[in-house]
Structure 1
Amino acid sequence: MLDKWTAPLIQSPLRTVALQLQHHGIKPDQVTITGFLFGMMAVPLLAFEFYSLALVLIIGNRLLDGLDGALARLASPSDAGGFLDITLDFIFYSAIVMGFALASPAENALAACVLIFSFMGTGASFLAYAIMAGKHQLSDPHFKHKSLYYLGGLAEGTETILLFVLFCLLPGYFPQLALGFAAICMLTTVLRVWSGYHSIDQAEKAKDSLKLSAQKTV
């Protein structure tokens, strides 16, 4: 929901840093892997309840995640790099939640399980639609109402970063924050599945209609 506002604000500074990295021969995939390692180092810190240090690494991971994309766009983004980026992102998201479960299993484990479950829904619906959208040359789902388009992106990257920051600042409220965000993710999943299905179905019917018209013309 917030990505469309935050993304334009950070592109200029990211590009400035990316130009410097490019000048020194740094590759996007190197930045991606470095950011992932930062994120993974936060997990044991969370497990031992060093939340402030973990937060520094989490923010570092997110900054490098934006930086690798800016660096890739200076040349020609590769599909291999995109695959690496999105895969490591999903591993990072789940790992951070696991870190809080390890910190206090009795209080946090159930909420962590529910949140990771909800991440599976948002991630699967996002990636599955991306595959089919590429096949049918679609951009955004065809929402009948504008409000549904708004809700379709309710749980995105910016919201997830803010959630992790709150986790670290208010670790005692992890169960409440996790369950609340899980509910938002589940709502997002339902809307994505509904809108994605109808968008792809309409695209398939439109193609079938064109084929039928072409056959009648012949």
Structure 2
Amino acid sequence: MLDGLMRRLIDPPLNRAGRVLARRGWSADAVTLAGLALGLTAAFLVAIGVPTAWAVLPFLAGRVADGLDGAIARARHKTDFGGYLDITCDFLFYAAFPLAFVLREPSDGVAGAFLLASFYVNGSSFLGFAVLAARRGLETRARGEKSLYFTAGLLEGSETILFFLFLCLFPQFFSPAAWIFGTLCFVTAASRVLLARRLFRD
């Protein structure tokens, strides 16, 4: 829901930084992998039981890298593999972070499993929609210039980042927050299915 607004705010500085880094020879794929490494570092810090606020810095750095890789690719040369690598790394990180909280506090396991299930269904609805949109030649730049077709939804990347930051700052609320956010993810997936039914029903 917030991604359209956030893209208008963050794309100009990201694109400027991307052009500078591209001129210096930085690889978009390398930045994608660096962002994943930073995100997994944040998850690791959560999982081993240190104060979760310690995870905020690598978490935010990883999200910045996740924005910079696309900016570098646009400044140099976009590839289909780069887009594929980016979304794969995103999904790995989105799975690892909730898992880290469950490893930290196993009593949160049911809420964590519900949250991960909602991510799985939401991600499947997103990727399936993108495949059909590509088959029909649909394009949109409402969420920035992407390798895949990004549909709008109640919960998008911006909301997920804010949710993970909330968990870092208030880990004691993981279970209720996971139930609420997971439910909203299912709502997002359902709305996307309804949109697909309207657009792709022949």
After TM superposition, the score normalised by the length of structure 2 is: 0.90
**Residue 22 of structure 2 contacts residue 76 of structure 2 at CA under 8 Å; is this kept in 1?**
no
Q: How does 1:132-211 map to 2 (within 5 A)?
A: 132-139=132-139, 153-201=153-201, 205=202
Compute the displacement of 1:138 (Å).
Answer: 2.8
The whole-number CA distance in structure 2 between the counterparts of 1:77 and 1:155 is: 27
- Code of the residue aligned with 2:25 in structure 1: it is G
The whole-number CA distance in structure 2 between the counterparts of 1:179 and 1:35 is: 27
The whole-number CA distance in structure 2 between the counterparts of 1:70 and 1:24 is: 14
- Code of the residue aligned with 1:40 in structure 2: it is L
**Correspondence for 1:99:** 100
The whole-number CA distance in structure 2 between the counterparts of 1:126 and 1:44 is: 27
Number of residue pairs aligned between Structure 1 and Structure 2 = 191
After TM superposition, the score normalised by the length of structure 1 is: 0.84
Q: How does 1:24-63 map to 2 (within 5 A)?
A: 24-50=24-50, 51-63=52-64
**Residue 15 of structure 1 contacts residue 70 of structure 1 at CA under 8 Å; is this kept in 2?**
yes
The whole-number CA distance in structure 1 between the counterparts of 2:164 and 2:152 is: 21
**Residue 152 of structure 1 contacts residue 191 of structure 1 at CA under 8 Å; is this kept in 2?**
no
- Bigger Cα Rg: 1
1:114-164 CA distance string (max 9 Å, x none) = 001000111000100111111112347xxxxxxxxxx95111000000000
The whole-number CA distance in structure 1 between the counterparts of 2:76 and 2:131 is: 24
**Correspondence for 1:22:** 22
Secondary structure of 1:100's counterpart equals helix
RMSD: 1.4
Q: Which runs of 5+ in 1 are unaligned?
A: 141-150, 206-218
**Correspondence for 2:80:** 79
The whole-number CA distance in structure 2 between the counterparts of 1:74 and 1:181 is: 35
Compute the displacement of 1:49 (Å).
Answer: 2.7
Sequence identity percentage: 38
Q: Which runs of 5+ in 2 are unaligned?
A: 141-150
The structure where helix makes up a greater share of residues is 1
Compute the displacement of 1:33 (Å).
Answer: 0.5
- Code of the residue aligned with 1:71 in structure 2: it is I
